[in-house]
A and B are shown apart, each in its own frame.
Chain A
Amino acid sequence: MVFNSLSFLLFFTVVFLIYWFPLKNTTKGQNIFLLLASYFFYGYADWRMLPLLIIATLIFFYLGKAISGAKTEKQGYWLTFAGVALGVGTLLYFKYFNFFIESFASLFNAIGLQTNLHTFNIIMPLGISFFTFRLLSYIIDIYRGKAEPTNDIIAFGAYVAFFPCLLSGPIDRPAFVKQLQAKREFNYEQAIDGCRQILWGLFKKVVVADNCATYVDKVWGDIGGQTGSTLVLAAVLYLFQIYADFSGYSDMAIGVGKLIGFKIADNFKFPLFALNIADYWRRWHITLTQWLTDYVFMPLNIKFRDWGNWGMILSIVITFVLIGMWHGANWTFALFGLYHGLLYIPLILSGAFFKKTKLKTNKLGLPVAKDFGRMILTFVLVVIGLILFRADSVGQTLEYVSSICDFSILKGPWLINRLYYIPQFIFIAIMMIAEWQQRTKEHGLVLDQIPSKILRYCIYGILVILLIWVGGHAETFIYFQF
């Protein structure tokens, strides 16, 4: 059930009404209802995976208590270790098992050994990477003394399966359980802001991302038949697509959370305006990078701390390969992570990594030339990385890059229909201009600087008309597959 579908609208209307009317005065009742609604939401996508989610929730709930009550430091360590092994093991089995078998088989074949390894028909549960990370952070934080185990299994279950974030994040931390235990009052301002954020998310997803997808998918479907300039255009459009798709999804999730009284963690902070790669990753998929910073990068960096900058580089490269692999079982994702990790090396060695980057603007409110240049460079580096990300195989990436480096790059790019694409570029421009104006705000549609109510409503109205005009079919989200 995607957010931009009628079935979700129906589902959420029912949830909203029951949650705020009959259950208004009972936090416990609201939480039980949220848990059941979340399980229904998950089961609606694939009911066969519901038992896994419930069993994993129960195991980690009791594991948290056991770690907290451990009699010795060693016992706590081993219980946490067992939990991490279980969580990571489940993820490896469902997501990477066939990948490892295929990789081993091709390795053995390459060195001349005949193998008889078979892959299995494993169905990957939706959202597994997201809820496993929520479960893992719970037990690790308890072990580190940063969180207390909860006695409230309903609130814990609702934290793990919270339907706005279940399939594609943001990945909230165990402190979210406290929000679930606190009494929620309906806040009109917050609810209206939630609606605005959902509207902005819908615009990015339905109007920008899904339309970019039409072009990008056509080009990727026939790389060999395209001119170099077409491939460059498709690569650039893919960055706009994936940004609008995933940040649009996150805006919608956060907006839905606001409507039922929750503050979900921010996931994007206008990454297309980043001044270098480190700045980009501080703004892109923030809850994932922050998660890996706390639980992978920091422990590694502490271990390698006596090796100076090279210890840090090693920690970053390992973390980024894992970030890449988190997206799926394919060498392209590992190389995507490695590519980004390596891009940190000049930043670390030059010391730029440790300096906070502050964007400077000129009198017109535009970035100064130097910062604009840095923005474009970062943009180009990210676009190049996304070729690896989008490709099905390393071979396809090479085909794509070598086809770009061709004399056909001098010809104009192919456009399916010129009239169709002019609005598309206008939509991207609207998104970029609006987000540039709003870059210090929480999302793209906080219009408190516009005093005229009529003007604000006109803007909302135009966005709704665009949604109806351009949209009309519920496309799924790129990040559901991760």
Chain B
Amino acid sequence: MEKNQILAEVQEIFREVLDNEEIVLNDATTADDVEEWDSLTHIQLIVAIEKHFKIKFTSKEILSWQNVGEMIDCIARK
């Protein structure tokens, strides 16, 4: 799957889980840029992404992402 396509789908998941239609993601977006994205909602996002793409991340992968781009790369590799 194209990374742009993944980014669009991840953005949709973010909007749904965080209940904010105005969220716009790019590769450089971090938790500091999205008000509702914190350590708690992070887990809800991961569960929703895993369910959507039918994949499973490892703990180390989840804990090593610095921004959305690294998360997208990880999804693309799966």
* B44 partner residues in chain A, CB cutoff 8 A: 354
Among A144, A298, A305, A356, the residue within 8 A (CB) of B39 is: A298
- From known contacts A356-B35, A356-B36, infer whether A144 and B43 are also in contact, taking CB-CB under 8 Å: no
* Size bracket of the A interface: 10 to 19
Interface of B is mostly: helix
For chain B, which range describes its interface: under 10, 10 to 19, 20 to 34, or 35 or more residues? 10 to 19
Among B62-76, those with CB < 8 Å from A are 62-64, 66
Q: A354-B40, A356-B35, A356-B36 are in contact. Are A305 and B64 (CB under 8 A)?
A: no
A146 at the interface (CB under 8 A from B): yes
Q: How far is the CB of B39 from chain A (nearest CB, A)?
A: 5
State the A residues within 8 Å of B (CB). 144-146, 293-294, 297-299, 301-303, 305-306, 312, 353-354, 356
Within 8 A of A (CB), among B37-53: 39-44, 46-47
> A302–B35 contact, CB under 8 A?
no
Q: What are the 6 tightest A-B residue pairs by CB atom distance, in nearest-first order?
A: A145-B64, A302-B59, A144-B64, A144-B63, A301-B43, A305-B43
Majority SS at the chain A contact face: helix
Closest A residue to B66 by beta carbon equals A146
- Cβ of A144: which chain B residues have Cβ within 8 Å of it? 60, 63-64
Q: Which residue of A lies closest to B60 (CB)?
A: A144
The A/B interface has a contact count, at CB < 8 Å, of 35
B66 CB to nearest chain A CB (Å): 7
The chain B residue sitting closest to A140, CB to CB, is: B63
- Closest Cβ of chain A to B58, distance in Å, is 9
Interface residues, chain B, with chain A CB atoms under 8 Å away: 35-36, 39-44, 46-47, 59-60, 62-64, 66
Known contacts A144-B64, A145-B64, A303-B59; decide if A293 and B39 are in contact (CB<8 Å): yes
A354 touches B43 (CB 8 A): no
CB neighbours of A306 from chain B (8 A):
47
Q: A58 to chain B: closest CB distance in Å? A: 27
Q: Which residues of B contact A305 (CB under 8 A)?
A: 43, 46-47
In the complex, the answer to whether B64 meets A354 with C-beta atoms within 8 Å is no
Q: Which residues of chain B come closer than 8 Å to A146, judged between CB atoms?
A: 64, 66
Q: Which residues does chain A contribute within 8 Å of B39, judged by CB atoms?
A: 293-294, 297-298, 301
List chain A residues, Cβ under 8 A from B35: 356
Q: Which of B40, B43, B59 contacts A353 (CB 8 A)?
A: B40
Find the A residue at minimum CB distance from B58: A302
Question: Given A301-B43, A302-B59, A305-B47, 16 other A-B contacts at CB below 8 A?
Answer: A144-B60, A144-B63, A144-B64, A145-B64, A145-B66, A146-B66, A293-B39, A297-B39, A298-B39, A298-B42, A299-B63, A303-B59, A353-B40, A354-B40, A356-B35, A356-B36
A111 to B59, CA, bound (A): 41
- B41: chain A residues at CB < 8 Å are 354
- Nearest opposing residue in chain B for A143, CB measure: B60
